[in-house]
Structure 1
Amino acid sequence: MSDVTYLGADRAPSPGSGLSFGVDVGGTGIKGAIVDLRTGMLVGERHRIATPQPATPERVAHTVAEIVEHFGWTGPVGLTVPGVVKNGVMTTAANVAPSWIGTDVEAMFGRALGGRRVTVLNDADAAGLAELSYGGGAHLRSGLVILLTLGTGIGSAMLYDGTLIPNSELGHLEVGGVVAEKQASAKVRKDRGWPLQTWAEHLSTVLSHYERIFSPDLFIVGGGISRKSDRWIPHLTNEVPVVPVTLRNSAGIVGAAMAVVGDG
């Protein structure tokens, strides 16, 4: 546990001493916290505000500023978004307004936060960074690790020898003529009423395809369904080991906080 305690905006911890700040922008909620990068743990409780509807860039940026102000944080800020980010510009958008596409999100969030430095990355990529350093992949320092978030779709992060290969979007690959996330996401399981064992068979098909293409050393799986991983991971038939995430809801925040320090 960090030796720094969150004391409120009037006595907030200052940047430095291993501290950073991350914000995780999702389709239903925006969450932020100070992160102790020595441990990968949040300093105090995260602060969450419901994602404004419609989730336009300007309204989300205003909400992000509220979260940062809540902590009295004065340093750089890392942020995740549900889409592909290239050179600071968002090129796809999932569960947020289409107006995000083509938006220079780093410049926009920087303005909303008073001109401070920001780093913006894909939400699954942020989770992958965090899990590889502090979670399910912390024991593996070499080789290829693939993190998959199994929810409405399939998000992904690829890390080779600890280095992020950004914006992989493996859920959009076709497997047997069908897009992967259309046959093995958690939403597909729910919509079709499959028991976990049946769903695991479809996920195994997707994982085996990823193995043939990328030859990974480890899969890390997240999303709400990972909480039941002991009930379906044993039914997977692919060859590469599969482990559940350990940071859960804090992974995006931690990964964003890591990314902004790495860009400094």
Structure 2
Amino acid sequence: MPGAEAQQRIGFGIDIGGSGIKGAPVDLETGELTAERLRIPTPSPSKPKAVASTVSELVAAFDLDPAVPVGLTFPAPIKHGVVPFIANLHKSWKGVDVPALMSEAIGQPVIAVNDADAAGVAEAVYGAARGVPGVVLVTTLGTGIGSALVVDGTLVPNTELGHLEIDGADAEDRAASSARENENLSWEEWAERLQRFYSTVEMLFSPDLIVVGGGVSKKHEKFLPLLRTTAPMVPAALRNTAGIVGAAYLAAHGYR
């Protein structure tokens, strides 16, 4: 059993997605995973009790010390722990107190945070935005467009900028990575749509840095050079570990 000093350096992060639930312990000094990430398929239907049971199974696989802070990401806004609306899991999640449900399931306190917010915090603390003062905008391009706004190291939660209406449409319906794939757009065609999105959010928030994450960021050289923004724009550094890392960090720092 690790000593108290070691325990203070470790947090545990859980990333709940529509297809998989992933978790791993995190070194809070470096942001690196201290053990191989475990993934368990998200149950179908993805109702609260079923997902909570899967989270309990995942945590049990690591035999965590009760002193380790546990953070969990969720694919929806989280307002004071409660889900106001849901898109990528079962509709019965609406109104659920996620920290209460998960804390009961695993037998120790859990904090819950929007998945894009967790990724944004991870990039600000350990990744591409580390040490950058002012306003940092982190976006995740995937099935939708996730967003996180971090101001001088403080998270402004639940921005949901992918749902801005731009040119009469939900921004993510036209500019998410899934739109490029579904409509067979060239990188240049997709970049035109991204440009419209980033120009709009830059006008609204005047960020000092824009970080672009999501799976497609692995191919950032194909589209980031095509975009023009006033703020520097860089690819995310943590990629698929960002949610886990950000959740663990926020749990260790008393996020509510």
Give the TM-score, by structure 2 length. 0.95
| Aligned: 1:84 with 2:77 | yes
- Which residue of the partner structure matches residue 194 of structure 1? 185
* Within-5 A mapping of 1:93-104: 93-104=86-97
- Other-structure match for 1:180: 171
Deviation of 1:25 (Å): 0.4
Runs of 4+ in 1 over 4 A off after TM superposition: 11-15
Aligned residue in 1 for 2:116: 124
* Aligned counterparts of 1:242 and 1:190: Cα–Cα separation in 2: 23
Partner SS, residue 43 of structure 1:
coil
C-alpha displacement at 1:12, in angstroms?
7.2
1:225 pairs, out of 216, 219, 222, with: 216
Match of residue 6 from structure 1: none
In 2, are the aligned partners of 1:90 and 1:103 still within 8 Å (CA)? yes
Secondary structure class of the residue paired with 2:96 = coil
Cα pair distance change 1:49/1:186, threshold 3 Å: same
1:41 aligns with 2:32: yes
Q: Distance in 2 between matches of 1:13 and 1:70?
A: 20
In structure 2, the partner of 1:152 is 143
Report the counterpart of residue 256 of structure 1 in structure 2.
247
- Relative distance call for 1:94 and 1:12 in structure 2 (3 A) is farther
Identity %: 48
Residue segments in structure 2 that go unaligned for 5+ positions in a row: none
TM-fit CA distance, 1:239: 2.4
Q: CA RMSD in A?
A: 1.4
Q: CA deviation at 1:197?
A: 1.5
Structure 2: distance between partners of 1:240 and 1:77: 34
Which aligned pairs between 1:97-112 and structure 2 lie closer than 5 A?
Answer: 97-112=90-105
CA contact (8 A) 1:205 1:238 kept: no
Q: Check if 1:210 corresponds to 2:201.
A: yes
TM-score between both structures, scaled by the size of structure 1: 0.92
Which residue matches 2:227?
236
3-state SS, counterpart of residue 194 of structure 1: coil
